Chain A
Amino acid sequence: MNPLSELQLDTLTEIFNIGAGRAASSLSEIVGDQVKLSVPRVQLYKSSDINAEVLSLNGLRVGAVKQSFSGPFDADAMLLFTEERAMEIVHDMMGSQVAIEDVAEFEQEAMCELGNIILNACLSSMADMLDLSLDSSLPIYSVGATDLILSQIVSEADQPVMLVLHIDLAIEKHLSQGYLVFLLSSSSLRELLAHIDRFISRI
């Protein structure tokens, strides 16, 4: 499924790269070190086509940070990492003061914040570039068996479209891959594309 034109895809990629740049800057302020965050690929999927294999989330459990936002179009935005990766990220973000065995204690809060930083950065970049205003809920973190979490995400019947961003995140010595997923209804997708087209036509 890929009804996006080359320019539409390029616009989305640029929006999310600016978002990634903003998020990396906030994260580096927290970890006090350089953070590499990039969005190398943006793809559209039918929600029903999504499973652990397609997303290559081959860990036993995944953590998901979710924010729902509304505006000219509505969507649920979600950041997904395997639990193991999530633990490593949290560990790196907290620095050496905490042993990896103790990270689980802080995982929920810290992942919520990480998700919040990345999701907000992408939303703000989208709002700036497309000149629109978006409201968002606070982030919620859930963790569980990969298939279970994904099936919960996919079961949202009125949101048949998924915009999937591949995320490469490197903090200190760890390289992590995760996904940022936007769940959209067909009408919200149309609205998003209309805004993108309006943006392109202004150039």
Chain B
Amino acid sequence: MPHRNNIRTLLIVDDSRVSRMMIRTFVLAKHPQWIIIEAASGNEALEIVDRDTPNYCTMDINMPGIIGTEAAAQILAKYPGIRVAIFSANIQESHQTRAATLGAKFVAKPVTERTVALALDFFESQT
């Protein structure tokens, strides 16, 4: 049963509006009371994180400006408490390894109910 102190803030970082919409929809279906913030680039995400520190963050990799893994690294260096899921179409080994090194969860796109659930499981584990 969701109640007040279950309110969490999630930052969705993706240059694709469709992907942001899909993540938002699937997350809100499970957690209607969560606060969702969106950013269309890594640079924008860095600003937002400083302003209103979210609990969780989903991060695309290929975006204009700094790439997602780099943005995630900077966010985690500053706010190690934020749980980050790298949500990307770029499924090559090297990116998955990079995500693991950062302590982030790697989730392969497409955005579906199943893949969003993987990110949510990670967010809510050991919190």
| Residues of A near any B CB (own CB < 8 A) | 6-7, 10-11, 13-14, 17-18, 20-22, 24-25, 28, 34-35, 38, 125, 128-129, 200, 203
Contacts and interface: CB of A to CB of B under 8 A. Distances in A.
A102 to B, nearest CB: 29
Contact of B16 (A14, A20, A24, A25): A14
Interface centre among B17, B21, B89, B108 (most CB of A within 10 A): B89
Given A34-B92, A38-B62, A203-B25, A18 B18 contact: no
Say whether chain B's binding surface is mostly helix, strand, loop, or mixed: mixed
Given A10-B18, A13-B16, A22 B62 contact: no
A10 B89 contact: no
A22 B91 contact: yes
A67 to B, nearest CB: 21
Contact of B90 (A14, A21, A203): A21
B95 to A, nearest CB: 9
Given A18-B109, A38-B62, A129-B110, A7 B18 contact: yes
A13 to B, nearest CB: 7
B37 to A, nearest CB: 18
A34 B96 CA distance: 12
A77 B62 CA distance: 25
A200 B91 contact: no
A203 B92 contact: no
A184 to B, nearest CB: 21
Interface in B59-103: 62, 88-94
A14 B62 CA distance: 11
Nearest to A38: B62
Contacts of A18: 89, 109-110
A28 B92 contact: yes
Contacts of A129: 110
30 contacts: A7-B17, A10-B16, A10-B17, A13-B16, A14-B18, A14-B19, A14-B89, A17-B16, A17-B62, A17-B89, A21-B89, A21-B91, A21-B108, A21-B109, A22-B91, A24-B90, A24-B91, A25-B91, A25-B92, A28-B92, A28-B93, A34-B92, A38-B62, A125-B110, A129-B110, A200-B18, A203-B18, A203-B21, A203-B22, A203-B25
Contacts of B62: 17, 38
Contacts of B19: 14
A203 B17 CA distance: 11
A11 to B, nearest CB: 5
B5 to A, nearest CB: 29
Interface string B19-51: 101100100000000000000000000000000
Instruction: Count chain A CB atoms within 10 A of each CB in B18, B22, B88, B93 and give the residue with the most.
Output: B18
Contacts of A21: 88-92, 108-109
Give 9 nearest A-B pairs by CB, closest first: A21-B89, A18-B89, A14-B16, A10-B18, A25-B91, A203-B21, A21-B90, A17-B89, A11-B18
